[in-house]
A and B are shown apart, each in its own frame.
Chain A
Amino acid sequence: DAGVTQSPTHLIKTRGQQVTLRCSPKSGHDTVSWYQQALGQGPQFIFQYYEEEERQRGNFPDRFSGHQFPNYSSELNVNALLLGDSALYLCASSQTGTSYEQYFGPGTRLTVT
């Protein structure tokens, strides 16, 4: 059973550019959440997608947007990159209406120069 997968593993971008990160949820999961983990910090919730719509959103600017596809996979888009966007971006999946567990992928390390 494949767990949560993310691509790419690492990414280097320049300030002002745009980036797209991808996530495939664990088999059987229909909900995808994205988190940003800055160096030395705990993960911070960005947003959550369910049934192809954004269901909840954390305290992140509109430069952060996302999408969920019919197969439940998801993308995170960040526009007008800032140096402060450098972080590990984690995707987590879960199944609506079941247990309390969110399963995390290995993350995408984004470096903005």
Chain B
Amino acid sequence: GNSVTQMEGPVTLSEEAFLTINCTYTATGYPSLFWYVQYPGEGLQLLLKATKADDKGSNKGFEATYRKETTSFHLEKGSVQVSDSAVYFCALSYSGNTPLVFGKGTRLSVIA
């Protein structure tokens, strides 16, 4: 079946450090890929998405590129802020009406 694997956390970074959170997937065909963010005590917010190979999703300084050849969708940010502290989930689906399959999440803590 389809699955998503992301690097285990927690990840602790100093403010302005470079962030990479690795995500790889196993799926048939060509799923769409997503990064969701969950702030403490809240639900999930869509951070960015990519719907086909070589697409780059970007938002709020975060970006991720859909790499079909390596089945990866790594999340990056050049300079993290304390406000980026949250749990980040990588996910895939085939349309807005098929279930999202999530990774286990990676907790990011950014310290000033």
Q: Are B99 and A45 in contact, CB atoms less than 8 angstroms apart?
A: yes
CA distance A101 to B97 in the complex (A): 9
Q: Are A106 and B43 in contact, CB atoms less than 8 angstroms apart?
A: yes
Q: Are A94 and B43 in contact, CB atoms less than 8 angstroms apart?
A: no
- Is B46 part of the contact surface with A, judged by Cβ < 8 Å? yes
CA distance A55 to B96 in the complex (A): 13
Chain A CB within 10 Å — which of B45, B46, B51, B100 has the most?
A: B100
Interface stretch of the complex, out of B63-71, B74-82, B102-110: B102-110
- Give chain B nearest CB distance to A53 CB in angstroms: 13
**B96 contacts across to A, CB distance below 8 A:** 31, 94-96, 98-102
Q: Are B99 and A56 in contact, CB atoms less than 8 angstroms apart?
A: yes
A to B contact number (C-beta, < 8 Å): 69
With both beta carbons as reference points, the residue of chain B lying nearest to A56 in the complex is identified as B99
CA distance A96 to B95 in the complex (A): 9
- Give chain B nearest CB distance to A38 CB in angstroms: 10
**A40 contacts across to B, CB distance below 8 A:** 104-105
CA distance A25 to B71 in the complex (A): 32
CA distance A102 to B101 in the complex (A): 12
Q: Are A42 and B95 in contact, CB atoms less than 8 angstroms apart?
A: no
Q: Are A100 and B45 in contact, CB atoms less than 8 angstroms apart?
A: no
Q: List 14 A-B contacts (CB under 8 A).
A: A4-B43, A33-B99, A35-B100, A42-B102, A43-B89, A45-B99, A45-B100, A48-B97, A48-B99, A50-B97, A92-B44, A102-B46, A102-B96, A104-B44
Give 6 closest A-B pairs by Cβ, nearest first: A42-B102, A45-B99, A94-B96, A104-B44, A106-B43, A100-B32
